[in-house]
Amino acid sequence: MIELETYFFTILVLSMFVNLGLALYGVLARPSLVKKIIALTILSDTANTFAIIVGYARWPSPTLPIKPPVLTNLNPSQVDILVFSQQAVDPLPQALVLTAIVIGLAVTLFLVFLTLQAYRLYGTTDVRKISKLRG
């Protein structure tokens, strides 16, 4: 069971690096603004997935799944705190990803608006053609 989990985790990490490479290629090498926006969105999603993986907690064993990180005792003992710290998932990456999704949506909408304005004014979304124009 652990070997299969490690195998899938390795595939996930490798696919993230492939996504990262393709997104950087799209942002840096593609001349179309629409393709750059799509690549930037893929880059943002890959970074968010990486942040979620950073906060990933393994199950203690295949028969003992992770319990919700809730302390039920009002005065927890040292053993309760130790078990809690081993089973709890770090909420900071989840909060950061949630914030990044909202900010990414706002930035994407702004870039789409700028691309629509560039197409309306210049009749193209090709960066090479736009950079040669004066005005």
Query: Is 100 contained in some domain?
Result: yes
pLDDT at 60: 57
Query: Is 18 contained in some domain?
Result: yes
Total domains present in the chain: 1
Query: Is 24 contained in some domain?
Result: yes
Query: Is 69 contained in some domain?
Result: no
pLDDT at 118: 94
CATH label of the domain that carries residue 27:
1.10.287.3510
- Tokens 């914030």 appear where? 99
Query: Is 80 contained in some domain?
Result: no
Residue 12 lies in domain:
2-55+90-132
pLDDT at 4: 80
| Interval 42-82: pLDDT, tens | 999 999 998 888 877 665 566 666 666 778 788 888 988 88
Query: Is 109 contained in some domain?
Result: yes
Six token digits for residue 94: 């989840």
Q: Which amino acid is at 71?
A: L
Query: Is 41 contained in some domain?
Result: yes
pLDDT at 58: 64
Q: pTM for this structure?
A: 0.78
Q: Output 1 or 45, whichever has higher pLDDT.
A: 45
Query: Is 108 contained in some domain?
Result: yes
| Interval 102-134: pLDDT, tens | 999 999 999 999 999 999 999 999 999 999 987
pLDDT at 63: 65
Q: What would the DSSP string read from start to end of the chain?
A: -HHHHHHHHHHHHHHHHHHHHHHHHHHHH--BHHHHHHHHHHHHHHHHHHHHHHT----SBTTBPPPPS----SS--HHHHHHHHHHPPPHHHHHHHHHHHHHHHHHHHHHHHHHHHHHHHHS--BHHHHHH---
